[in-house]
Each structure stands twice: as C-alpha cells, then as structure tokens.
Structure 1
Amino acid sequence: MADANNEENLYPIAVLIDELRNEDVQVRLNSIRKLSTIALALGVERTRTELISFLADTIYDEDEVLVALAEQFGQFTKLVGGPEYAHVLLAPLEGLALVEETFVREKAIESLRIVANDHSPQDLEQHFVPLVKRLALGDWFTSRSSACGLISVVYPRVSSAVKLELRRFYRQLCVDDTPMVRRAAASKLGEFATVLEPEFVKADIIQLWSQFLGDDQDSVRLLAVEASIAIAGLLGHEDIETQMIPFLKQAAEDKSWRVRYMVADKFTDIQNVVGAEITKNELVLPFQNLLKDPEAEVRAAAAQKVRDFCSNLPTDDREQIIMSQILPCIKELVIDSNQHVKTALAGVIMGLSPIVGEQNTIEQLLPIFLSMLKDECPEVRLNVISKLDCVNEVIGVQQLSQSLLPAIVELAEDSKWRVRLAIIQYMPLLAGQLGVEFFEEKLNALCMAWLVDQVFAIREAATLNLKKLVEKFGAEWAQNTVIPKILQMASDPNYLHRMTCLFCINVLATVCGSEITTKLMLPIVLRLGTDLVPNVRFNVAKTLKIIGTELDQSIVQEQIKPCLEKLQADTDIDVRYYAGEGLRSL
C-alpha cells in the first residue's frame, strides 16, 4: 500500500518529464503552464526539493517555452512555502536571466523583481544580493544586462554597506564595453535615480546621465533622453537649469534623427517636469528647431506636441511666444512635403484656438484651417474636421459657418467616396456643434442627398447618420423634417432608392417610437410589399421583421402578419424565404 502511494506521489513529476521530452513544442508549453497544478499536487516540500531542482537542471528548451517557464516562477512563492522559501526560486530564474534571447531574459527579470519583493531584508542580503553580484560580474553581456534591471529593486531595502557596493556595480555597468549592457543600464537609469538618496542623484546620476548622452551608440543616447524625465523630477529648478538643460539642448540637435525623435516625443513630458519658466527661457528655440528638423519623423513627432507645448507655456507670455515664434513654424508645416507631418499637425492644431483666443483664431488660424481642409491628403482634412468643436467654442457658429462650412460642404461632395464617407461619420458631431436650426438650413439637404449616392457604402452610412441625428434632435424633428423626405423615396422610379427608403425605416423605427412608425412608416412598407422588383419585396419582409418588434401586437396581427403571409406565397424564392423568417420571428 505504501509503495502504491509513493508511486502516486511520483506521478506528477513523471508526467512532467515525459511531456517536457515531447518533440511537440505546444505539448511542452502546455506542460509548463500546468506547473502550478503540479506543484499543488506535490505539496510545498516536494516542490522545493524536487520540482524546482528538476526544472533548474532542464533549462534548455525553445524560447517560447522558456518565457512561459520564467513567467510561472514569478507566481511560485506561495507554492514553495511562502516568503521564507522564496530564495529557492532564484537558481532557475538566474539561469533564465543568462539566456541570449531578449524576451526570455526580460521575463526572467520581471519574475525576479516580483520574487525580490517576497524576500525579507535579511534574505535579500543573504540570497538575492549575491545573485545580483554574480550577474553584474558575469563574463557574458546577457548576465550584466540582466543585473541592470535588478539593482533598483534591491537597493532601498539593504544596508548602507551593500548600497555602496550596488552603486559601484551600477557605475561599472554604465561604462561597460558592450553597448547592449550600456543600453540596459541607460534604460533603468531613471528608475535607479528614484530609489537613490538625494545626495547621490546629484553626485552620481547626473554624471552618468550626461555620459550616456555623449555615448557613441544612438540607442544609448535616446534611452538617456527618456531617463531625463524621472531625473529632472528629483532635482530643484536651479540644478535642472544649470546641469540638465544644456545636455537636453544638445540632445535636441543630436546627429542621430532617432535621438532627436525621442526628444520631440518626450518634449511635453520634459516640459511638465522642468516647469513653465524654464520652458520659456530655454526650450522654445529647441522646440522650433524640432519643428523644422530635416527628418520628417522628427517633425511629425514635434507637430503632435504643438498644442500641449503651447498650453504649458507661462500664461503671461503664452500668446506672444505662440504668435511670434511657434506660428511661423506651423505655417511651414501646413505646406510640408510629407503627409504624415501634416496629418500629425492637423490632429492638434484646432486645439490652439482656445489658447490664443478669438481674434488670433480669426486672423491667423482660420486661414491655416482652410488651407488644411483643402489638403490633398484625406487624413489631414478629416483630422481638422474632427476637432471643429475646439474652434466653435472660441469663434461661435456664425464665424465658423462663414469661414469653414463651405470647405466642409465641398468635402461632402468630394469625388473620392471614402472622403464623403468620413464626412458622414462626422456629421452628428457637426450637428451637435451647430444646433438644429443652423443644421437644417445648411446641412440637412446634404444628408438627404447622401441617401441617393451611387456608392452603397455611402447610402448605408447615410441611413445610420440619420439615426444619430434623430437621437440628437428628437423624434418630433424627424417627423417634421426627415421622414417626409424619406417616404417620398418610396415612389422613386429607381428601385435602389426605394430600397434605401426601407433601410432608413429599419433604423428610424427604433428611435422614433411605435406611434410615428405605425402612423407614417408602416403604410409605406406595406405598400412596397407589392413592388414589381423582388429585391424590394424581400427587403419589405426584412423590414417588417425588424419593426414588428417595436409595434403593438394588435398591429402585428392585423397588418404585418397578413403581408408576410402574402409574401410567403411570392413567385420569388428569396422573397418567400425572408417572409418565412419574418413570420417565425414574430
């Protein structure tokens, strides 16, 4: 009996060994994902003594399997007996942290960081710090790269003597001969700075940061730019201005466009940390230069930050700086040869209106908006239209309609159907900004014209647009303005227009209510049930099925079902099919 129990206890390990030896990667992957279940079956003691040691000795698999294994170990502390025994997980994770594949190492480091938090301060110094030392002094770059991601996790919870040693290790990693190690150190510099004592941030971190910004590898320099945000947040304004700003200016003019791109991408984050005054005094010119950069990717990244940059300027000087220094750069970007730059600018430029005020918007920005509304790139035009609410709030409907609406109407009749489609999708937004009276006067006819467009996608979008407009303006507006025009289409000689009438009824019935549907729309649907075109008749069956759910049962029994029964005897097979579907549904 004892032997039988022993065999049963060995079963999970035996199964695991067989599965890990299987040639199919998916089988091995599934086995790794079941490790927590196997550990529960074994119990904490056997998991520590058998399972973990077995896995530590068999780390030689496909990268995908190793990533899954590293992830599992991060959740294993409870399964090995709790924080007291968390150190037993370090050996297999250390092995994974040495693997050449980056994804495996990253997942191993992530799990090591989790497991580190499960250690007591005493266990950290006894078990985890020696692991960090081994990695930091390792022969392979993979080992030293992994150490960079662990020092900041350990540092806050160890003694002063160990902290001194860890700072020394980090400085060595920052000047490592291998670029990959310096990259790893640069990527963690900001994180390390946040756990250091203030005196060491000034003494060590600033020096290391400036060193990274002068590195011969652009991949290191751009990571240093990213670290500047965290570092600046730890310094006073005087230290930022004297010790950091000169290096940031240098990075904004870096020979590598990738570094300049990173500066442009992080510019407003840097602004938020350094403050409005330093921005005004030191960062306006670098931002102008980024907007004029010879590389389109850099210009696009800077263009995306225009609104945020301007809003973060000091209130007293904001308007003057924007109009005299930023606006000339914007005018150049409006006619940029690269469409991605113009698209990026179009997505934010309307947001300048609330910042510069009504007069500047009318005199300076409206001509720019009009120019972009006529740009050959559809994305540019659509980005401008999607942000019209910003301008409307500043200059009002009257000025907006006089200046921009003609250009919008022109786009609504664009020869490219995708442009027309995009305008339709923004029409409910425009309607909300312009109000019902103005909309009826200027844009209602346009919305109705889309219903008879040659392209089906436009007609379909136009029907959904009507539903959104009715939701915005109400059923009474629909009854007086939209529905009569839709119902006229039921008598149109073109059968496609008669079908569009049915499509409109499908969507409007759900928002207009049963009374309007019964009184105005249902009679038209029933009349079209005798249409000469089979496509119209089977769409009548579809419509009756849809609107039947919105109407009283008495109406369904007295009017809808007799029509569907008649259509079920139609000569066309499709009409009969959809009529039968409708009857079954009702």
Structure 2
Amino acid sequence: MAGSEPMEDDSLYPIAVLIDELKNEDVQLRLNSIKKLPTIALALGVERTRSELIPFLNETIYDEDEVLLALADQFGKFTPLVGGPEHAHCLLLPLEQLAQIEETIVREKAVDSLCAIASIQNSDDLETHFVPLVRRLASGDWFTSRTSACGLFSVCYARLNVVLKKELRAHFKNLCHDDTPMVRRAAAAKLGDFAKVMEAENLKTDIIPLLIKLATDEQDSVRLLAVGACVNVAALLPQDDVKEFVIPTVRQCVTDVSWRVRYMVADRFTELQTSVGTETVISELVPAFQLLLKDIEAEVRAVAAHKVRDFCQNLDVNHQEQTIMENILPCITDLVSDANPHVKSALAAVIMGLSPIVGKENTIEHLLPLFLMQLKDECPEVRLNIISNLECVNEVIGIQQLSQSLLPAIVELASDSKWRVRLAIIEYMPLLAAQLGVQFFDEKLNTLCMSWLVDSVYRIREAATQNIKKLVEQFGPDWAQTNVLPEVMELACNKNYLHRMTCLFCITELAEVCGTGMTIDLMLPTVLEMANDKVANVRFNVAKTLQKIGPPLNPACIQSLIIPVLEKLNNDDDVDVKYFASEAIAEIAG
C-alpha cells in the first residue's frame, strides 16, 4: 500500500494479511480468511505453521460462533500441514480452548477434531499430550470443559497403559456424578462408546454401576440418554449378565414417569432386541413392547407402532407366529382405531409387512379386516400408507383375495369429494398398477384413471396426464394405443375447452413415450385439427404442443404438416397465439 512502511520480512506477509482480515468487522470476511488457512499454512511451511501460525490463532480472540466453528473444523484437518501425526500435538491447545466455548456446536466440532487427531497419534503422544488435555478438561471449573471431556475417553483409552486407564475410568465416574445436569447428560450420551473400548472385566465393576446410576438420575434428559447406553452395553455382555444387570434398567425405563424416556426406549427397542437372547426377548421384551404400544402418550405409541414390523420380524422363528398372534395382534387391533392420527399413520406404514410373517391364513382372517378399517380411515395419510404397501399382502394372499377385500375401498377413495384425497390416489396409481398387473388394471382401474382427465379440478387433470404417461411407460405403447389414445382423442371434441386443453397436455406427455410413429399416425392429426379451435387458449396450446412434439419427428413431416400450421397461428389475431407460434417456429426451425 502507498505510504505504508515496508515490511522487514516479506515472508510474514500471509500472517499480516490474516491479522487484518481477522480484525475486520465483517463476519463473512473473517470466515473466508479461516477457509484460506490451509493455503497460508502451505505458503509458510510446516515449521513456521507450528511456530507462528498456530500460536497466533491460539492467542487471537474470536467472539463470533461462526468463526469459531470454522476454526474448530479446520484444525481437525490440519495434521498434514503441521508435519504429520508426530507434530499433531501442537493443535491440541487451540482445540482445548475451543472445547470450552459456551456455544454447544463449537464444542462438539472441537471434540470431533480432537478425536480425529487422537486417532492418528501413537501411544506415547497420547500419554504425553492427549491424556493431560483430557485430565484438564475433565476437572475444569466450567461445565463446558467437563461436557467436552466426556467425548474424548473412548478414542484414547484402548492404547493407554493400565495406570492411565484406571485414572480415566475414575475421571469418567466423577463426570457421571457431576453436580451439573449438562455434564451428566454428556456422560450418559458417551457411556456406550466408552463401554465398547473397555475390558470385559471392567464392564461389571465400572460401567454397570454408572449405567444404573444414570438411568435413575433425577433429570429425565439424563435418563433418556442412558437408554442408548443400555443398548450398547447389552451387546457387550453375556446373556446372563444382560438379564441380571441391563434388563432391570430397561424395565424401569419402560415405566418411567417421563414420556420422553419411554419414547427413547421405544425408539431404540429393536436395537435392544437384537442384543439379547431369545428367552429374554419372550419373557421380558415382549411384555415391555406391549406396554409401549399401550402407552398413555400418543408420541410413545406412535414410535412403538412404527417398530411393530421390525420387532415381529426379529422374533425367533420358533415362537414368532404364536407371539405375534397372542401378544402383539391385540395391541395392533387397538391402535388401528387409536384417537391420534399420527399413531394410526405410523402403524399403517408397517402393518402390511406382517403378512409375510404370519402367513396367508392369518392375514385373511385377522389382518385384512384391519387393513380395510385403515383404508376407510378419515386420515388420508393412513389410507395412503396402506395403499403404498399393498404389494406385501398381494404376494401372500394373491390378487383375487386382495381385489375382493381391499380394492372397493380404493375405488371409493378415488372418487372422494376431497380433491386432495383423489390427488393422492392418482399419485399411487402407477404403484398399484405394478402390483396388480395389466389385466387386472384394465378390468378394475383403467376407466377410473381416464375419468380423472375430465375432473373439475385442474390439479387433478394435470396429475392425471402424468399418471397416464407413467402407466404407458409401464405397460407399453401398444397398450396405450388400445386403452388410452382413443379416449384422449375424444377429448379434442369435448364441449368444454378445458378438456380440449387436457387432450393437448396428454399428447405432449404421451408423444415422448409412444414413439414418433404413433405420434405422426395417431396424435399429430388431432393436434393440427385443433389449430382451428375457436378458443385462443386452445390454439396457443396447440403451438406449445407442436413445439414439444415436433423436433423428434422427421424433417418431411415437419415441413409439410407442422410448419404451415404454425405459420397460420403466427398470423392469428390473438397476441398470445402469435407469441407461442413464433416461439415454436424458432425452436423447430432452429
């Protein structure tokens, strides 16, 4: 800069620029400067990055969370820029400071970066540099440092000597008994990870007492996080120990006074199921699952209902059918008519999956009546969840039984007075067609699909054209020529100009999937004839349709049939017709 003093050492320029940018009041500029740190580090070299850049960043105070977050993220990737794993310890001090920041997201990112660095350090560096950091954070005055410490034990524990391992277990125990709920919450969240790297003999002596303590904490926010630890610990213990130490805690959480704790149990239930033995599942988890399905809180019932299929699928095959029919089905029957729509919707999304598990007879006798109730439910989402999973039932009981029991309800929904319900059925029609097959579709549903083209609601007519295109993609052009095109062409003569426009919309969509031959022979003559329509909206849609379907056709057809009609429309009295005609000519001629 003119008038400024020359720098004594031009090699300091990158840091000088960085200092100016980090002092700028513009947060975005400071963020950009943080993103340029790798480039600056490369320019400085590893030695100067360690001796100058890192200390500078460590000493500079940043008060914006966005900047601190970006810095914490960068430090986690900085190891190659400071000389590799053997020098990575120089990054620990600034990350230690960031791990004590008040903003949670900054602390979490700092902990992630610390874990990334610890994972590539050797045992000596861990003992010399990383463990003292954990020690300082775990015994820090502020709760922020102690919460961050909880996430660091599992990444270094396995590679330490016996003495340090014992010390870390003691520190973690202190954190689990911390006076501050936020610290205990962090410890509960990380207890499972710590358990995974701990020796088997220490699980009983150290982890189990902490698990029991956290699961009975006065704060429900701590107790609910202990549920995840139960799942992790159960996977590590022998089955006898699971039954003795973990199951009582699970049983207690299932009946916890806080619905949030019960919700967490329901959410993690199938994970817990896979971690315990068959006998324990039948004797302990099935009754617990029944309680969750009958819980007084709708949120708990909903998440439990969503787990029904997976829970039943994971049951031992020797007891599967009996357990479902005797223990789970009565609860499901109650949930089908639950007062809360979210509960019914969650169940409807998975209940069809029970058919392959319980077999044809049980499906027909016990499940089909429930499916029918759900298809008639007042909540659209419940009905749609059933429709979207019909394939599961079709594979078990066959199309004949399915059509007799469920299809009438689907047809009834397709004519529902609420247009949004009709729209939802349209969107699922290609799925139904794939499940039911072309013959059955032609007999039962094709007429219904064509009727939507003349619906009174534009959104329905629009969706109907897309639906027909998808059906043709599925069943083929020959099917379209016999079952679709005749009725679409009839719309060209409909008294209602809106339906004549729908004809054009259909042709635009169908030309793409039916091929040029069918377009020229069957659809193009209708479009050209409609250029004489008395309604301007129809005429300019003729121009738009020709613009879409024209380019793929052969040049002779374009020159002899399409261009003359477009030129005529280009001289139309209506300005919109002229505009779209000129656009089409430019597109096709170009």
Instruction: Answer whether TM exceeds 0.5 for this pair.
Output: yes
1:440 and 2:412 are equivalent in the alignment: no
Q: Deviations over 1:185-233 (max 9, x none)?
A: 1111111011111111122111211111111111111111011221111
Matches within 5 A, 1:356-371: 356-371=358-373
Deviation of residue 421 (structure 1)?
0.6
Equivalence for 2:461: 459
1:419 and 2:421 are equivalent in the alignment: yes
Equivalence for 1:339: 341
Amino acid in structure 2 at the alignment position of 1:318: Q
Q: Which secondary structure state, in structure 1, belongs to the residue aligned with residue 319 of structure 2? A: helix
Matches within 5 A, 1:496-511: 496-511=498-513
Q: Deviations over 1:546-576 (max 9, x none)?
A: 1112321211111111111111111111111
Equivalence for 1:478: 480
Equivalence for 2:432: 430
Amino acid in structure 1 at the alignment position of 2:87: Y
Amino acid in structure 1 at the alignment position of 2:40: I
Equivalence for 1:523: 525
Matches within 5 A, 1:221-300: 221-300=223-302
Equivalence for 1:410: 412
Deviation of residue 64 (structure 1)?
1.3
Match of 1:30 among 26, 29, 32: 32
After TM superposition, the runs of 4+ consecutive aligned structure 1 residues lying more than 6 A away are none
Q: Deviations over 1:49-72 (max 9, x none)?
A: 111111111133211111111111
Amino acid in structure 2 at the alignment position of 1:116: A
Q: Deviations over 1:95-118 (max 9, x none)?
A: 111111111111111111111123
Equivalence for 1:142: 144
Q: Deviations over 1:429-456 (max 9, x none)?
A: 1111111111111101100000001111
Q: Deviations over 1:505-559 (max 9, x none)?
A: 0011111111111111010000001111111111111111111123212111111
Q: Answer yes or no: is the 8 Å Cα contact 1:148–1:170 preserved in 2.
A: yes
Equivalence for 1:382: 384
Equivalence for 2:161: 159
Q: Answer yes or no: is the 8 Å Cα contact 1:59–1:96 preserved in 2.
A: no
Q: Which secondary structure state, in structure 2, belongs to the residue aligned with residue 222 of structure 1? A: helix
Q: Which secondary structure state, in structure 2, belongs to the residue aligned with residue 551 of structure 1? A: coil
More off after superposition, 562-571 vs 55-64: 55-64
Deviation of residue 402 (structure 1)?
0.7
Matched residues in 1 for 2:119 and 2:228: separation?
Answer: 26
Q: Deviations over 1:72-93 (max 9, x none)?
A: 1111111112112111111111
Give the share of equivalent positions with the same residue, in percent.
66
Equivalence for 1:392: 394
Q: Aligned pairs, how many? A: 584
Match of 1:16 among 15, 18, 27: 18
Matched residues in 2 for 1:542 and 1:144: separation?
Answer: 67
Q: Which secondary structure state, in structure 2, belongs to the residue aligned with residue 294 of structure 1? A: coil
Matched residues in 2 for 1:505 and 1:10: separation?
Answer: 69
Matched residues in 1 for 2:345 and 2:8: separation?
Answer: 69
Amino acid in structure 2 at the alignment position of 1:208: L
Deviation of residue 315 (structure 1)?
1.1
Matched residues in 1 for 2:6 and 2:21: separation?
Answer: 22
Amino acid in structure 2 at the alignment position of 1:556: I
Match of 1:68 among 67, 70, 92: 70
Q: Which secondary structure state, in structure 2, belongs to the residue aligned with residue 169 of structure 1? A: helix
Amino acid in structure 2 at the alignment position of 1:54: F
Amino acid in structure 2 at the alignment position of 1:488: E
Matched residues in 2 for 1:435 and 1:70: separation?
Answer: 56
1:180 and 2:182 are equivalent in the alignment: yes
Match of 2:110 among 94, 108, 111: 108
Equivalence for 2:351: 349
Equivalence for 2:82: 80
Equivalence for 1:560: 562
Matched residues in 2 for 1:463 and 1:188: separation?
Answer: 53
Q: Which secondary structure state, in structure 2, belongs to the residue aligned with residue 529 of structure 1? A: helix
Matched residues in 1 for 2:50 and 2:124: separation?
Answer: 20
Matched residues in 1 for 2:476 and 2:140: separation?
Answer: 72
Equivalence for 2:135: 133
Structure 2 unmatched ranges of 5 or more: none
Matched residues in 2 for 1:436 and 1:101: separation?
Answer: 59
More off after superposition, 505-514 vs 318-327: 318-327
Matched residues in 2 for 1:543 and 1:8: separation?
Answer: 67
Q: Deviations over 1:329-365 (max 9, x none)?
A: 1111111111111111111111111111111111111
Equivalence for 1:533: 535
Matched residues in 1 for 2:540 and 2:8: separation?
Answer: 72
Q: Answer yes or no: is the 8 Å Cα contact 1:346–1:380 preserved in 2.
A: yes
Deviation of residue 253 (structure 1)?
0.6
Deviation of residue 152 (structure 1)?
1.0
Q: Answer yes or no: is the 8 Å Cα contact 1:59–1:95 preserved in 2.
A: no
Deviation of residue 275 (structure 1)?
3.7
Q: Answer yes or no: is the 8 Å Cα contact 1:561–1:583 preserved in 2.
A: yes
More off after superposition, 200-209 vs 492-501: 200-209
Equivalence for 1:200: 202
Amino acid in structure 1 at the alignment position of 2:504: L
Amino acid in structure 2 at the alignment position of 1:313: L
1:494 and 2:531 are equivalent in the alignment: no
Deviation of residue 5 (structure 1)?
8.1
Q: Answer yes or no: is the 8 Å Cα contact 1:39–1:47 preserved in 2.
A: yes
Deviation of residue 425 (structure 1)?
0.7
Matched residues in 2 for 1:431 and 1:140: separation?
Answer: 62
Amino acid in structure 1 at the alignment position of 2:497: Y
Amino acid in structure 2 at the alignment position of 1:417: W
Q: Answer yes or no: is the 8 Å Cα contact 1:276–1:312 preserved in 2.
A: no
Equivalence for 1:57: 59
Equivalence for 1:450: 452
Matched residues in 2 for 1:63 and 1:513: separation?
Answer: 58
Q: Which secondary structure state, in structure 1, belongs to the residue aligned with residue 245 of structure 2? A: helix
RMSD of Structure 2 on Structure 1 (CA) = 1.2
Q: Deviations over 1:106-143 (max 9, x none)?
A: 11111111111232211111111111111111111111
